[in-house]
Structure 1
């Protein structure tokens, strides 16, 4: 890949695995410096030791409000600027609502909704001051379809879909692009809560997406000329099309 993002600084949350790790790899390959944000200290250290100086680890538990608030100032101290925020960190609660653990519901809504809003809120003053920036949120097909087997998770993504649509309209005048990627099921740790039979059927039918494919779509969005916004991309395996 051409070094289309040379000189840019990207921040990726949930960077130690899954889509976040694939996103990090794609951004580094395009020439960006990447601040990898995750709570998994050991995983970040291992990843960054393999990726060189352009990969900068930042250990934060985003569910800790005080720690979450340090993200933007710490990135600016470490890297000097923020050109790209990939708000990717999230968790999953599936199954029948009546069976869900309410503490897990609180945690998921906090991470999938509140943390995303706070991270975007905290980087916007810097981007507005520079009159440029890109924000991409990892959403889900569940943001666009009332998925019956995941009412809690789907609700969090519907909320974030609204957030992306409204914030985009507030900040485009500052040269800031806001978009989302909404994949169907991605092979990642988030599928650990899927019923075993459903997961097996999805694998056998070719109805899962690789994290690298999501990263490729994100890179397409980021590398359009300024003034062109790819607002939202819904992507899924053909066999999964509803």
Structure 2
């Protein structure tokens, strides 16, 4: 895929680790300049030092509304354009609802839903003006199945599934593609909150994906002919069984 994204500028939120980092590195390998949005300054610096000038660190706390609103202006200040948004930042709350911390619920819904909507809202005028753009949102298999061990997390992803399908219908006339990637369980820090017995069962059975697997599908979505939108990709380990 070398050169497939030559001349493109991408923004990846939650870029310092997991799916965001894998997506970032895949886009860099394809020739894009990538703005890495995260709040982990040390991780961003290490990644950008490793990848050179094509990787641009943008330290933002997306849960701070004022900071979140600076994303597009700061990107344009450094790059002059934005072609791709991978809205990937998210967090996880699992387990029984009765045991969940209300503060954690607020934080997760803000990051998984509100921040995604605000990021997309903010970049759309620029993309509409240029009559081109790609928006990919990291969703989850949980958006398509009412997983009983994660009602709060699954609900946030069901909301995103609706958001993707409705916004796509509003903006395709402007040359903008909107899609989501819905992986099953991926080996990232988000699994830290999984029930221990379920995580061990998944590891033992080979029922987990690698972040690089997800990044490969993101690249597939981005490199289709402009007349084709890959709106939803559900991917899961072959051995995974709900």
TM-score (norm 2): 0.99
Name the counterpart of 1:87: 87
Name the counterpart of 1:223: 223
Q: CA RMSD in A?
A: 0.5
Q: What do residues 164-204 of structure 1 show as CA deviations (whole Å, max 9, x unaligned)?
A: 00000000000000000000000000000011111111001
Q: What do residues 77-120 of structure 1 show as CA deviations (whole Å, max 9, x unaligned)?
A: 01110000000000000000000000000000000000000000
Question: Any residues of structure 2 matched to 1:30-109 within 5 Å, and which?
Answer: 30-109=30-109
Indicate the SS of the match to 2:53. Answer: coil
Indicate the SS of the match to 1:240. Answer: coil
Name the counterpart of 1:173: 173
Indicate the SS of the match to 2:58. Answer: strand
How many angstroms apart in 2 are the aligned matches of 1:183 and 1:82? 25
Name the counterpart of 1:127: 127
Name the counterpart of 2:212: 212
Name the counterpart of 1:196: 196
How many angstroms apart in 2 are the aligned matches of 1:239 and 1:6? 36
Q: Alignment length, in residue pairs?
A: 242
Shift of 1:27: 0.2
TM-score (norm 1): 0.99
Shift of 1:241: 3.8
Q: Which runs of 5+ in 2 are unaligned?
A: none
